[in-house]
């Protein structure tokens, strides 16, 4: 499996520092007085758990990190032992039970890995598991991403999708607006960054950050 191999060779591929999305999420939660609340957070595609740790350290939430890679979850559990606030589970997002509800769904660099039918399934899942007044924090590659745009083999019949070791789908703003129109989109912007990797390489990326919320259900 691609991700098991990645983590096997370069354990903490993106180092110990949190992703940009984790910084954005904590800043947002602090600004809105939510960091002090006992929120339930779901990090899908959590990798070895660097953002789970950051979110736990900077909020009072309970965080469940899930990842399909056994190697990632083994690393996560070894680095950040489970306790009353941190849990990890090895599973694909499609296996998540829909009767467990979350205040926050967090997706850092995950959406871009999903094929069209999986993206539809993920959005359906988010809609099911987010509570009223819930929040989605998402980062995903832009079509302008210098590292991956137009690289690899184009996927036939699917715009902005390439296979270059792994399947990648790059997004335009209008696509994200449409995909997440079931939420009230609060923030949607592009950011550019240089990512140092455990391999010694530096990747140049342009990604989207989206913050969206579900509306309160009136009684």
Ligand X SMILES: C[S@@+](CC[C@H](N)C(=O)[O-])C[C@H]1O[C@@H](n2cnc3c(N)ncnc32)[C@H](O)[C@@H]1O
Length in residues, the chain: 219
Q: How many residues touch ligand X (CB under 6 A)?
A: 20
Contact criterion met (CB below 8 Å) for 14 and 195: yes
Using CB under 6 A as the criterion, what x/- string covers residues 6-45 for binding ligand X? --------x----x------------------------xx
Please pick, from the candidates 26, 42, 62, 108, the single residue that binds ligand X as defined by CB under 6 A.
108
Bridge partners, 65 (sequence order): 43, 88
Applying CB under 6 A, which part among 65-73, 74-82, 155-163, 203-211 lies near ligand X? Answer: 65-73
Pick one of 56, 59, 69, 207: the residue that binds ligand X (CB under 6 A): 69
> Minimum distance between the CB of residue 218 and ligand X, rounded to whole angstroms?
34
Residue 36 or residue 70: which is nearer to ligand X going by CB?
70
Whole-number Å distance between alpha carbons of 176 and 188: 9
What the block records as the tokens of 11 is 């354990």
Q: Per rule CB under 6 A, is residue 134 in the interface with ligand X? A: no
User: Does residue 67 interact with ligand X by CB under 6 A?
Assistant: yes
Strand order in the sheet with 153-154: 153-154, 161-164, 166-169
Maximum alpha-carbon separation in the chain: 54
> Which of 2, 4, 8 is closest to 199 using CA atoms?
8
List contacts with ligand X (CB under 6 A).
3, 14, 19, 44-47, 50-51, 66-69, 72, 92-93, 108-110, 113
């Amino acid at each position: 499996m691609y991700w098991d191999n990645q983590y096997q060779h370069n354990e903490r591929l993106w180092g110990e520092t949190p992703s940009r999305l984790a910084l954005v999420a904590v800043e947002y939660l602090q600004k809105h007085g939510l960091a002090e609340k006992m929120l339930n957070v779901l990090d899908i595609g959590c990798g070895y758990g660097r953002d789970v740790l950051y979110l736990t350290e900077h909020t009072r939430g309970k965080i469940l990190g899930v990842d399909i890679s056994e190697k990632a979850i083994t690393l996560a559990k070894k680095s950040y032992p489970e306790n009353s606030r941190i849990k990890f589970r090895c599973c694909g997002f499609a296996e998540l039970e829909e009767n467990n509800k979350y205040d926050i769904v967090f997706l850092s660099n995950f959406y871009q890995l999903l094929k069209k039918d999986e993206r539809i399934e993920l959005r359906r899942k988010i809609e099911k598991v987010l509570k009223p007044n819930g929040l989605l924090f998402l980062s995903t590659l832009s079509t302008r991403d210098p590292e991956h745009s137009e690289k690899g083999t184009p996927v036939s019949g699917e715009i902005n999708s390439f296979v270059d070791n792994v399947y990648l789908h790059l997004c335009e703003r209008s696509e994200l607006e449409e995909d997440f129109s079931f939420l009230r989109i609060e923030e949607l912007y592009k950011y550019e960054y240089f990512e140092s990797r455990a391999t010694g390489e530096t990747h140049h990326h342009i990604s989207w950050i989206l913050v969206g919320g579900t509306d309160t259900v009136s009684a």
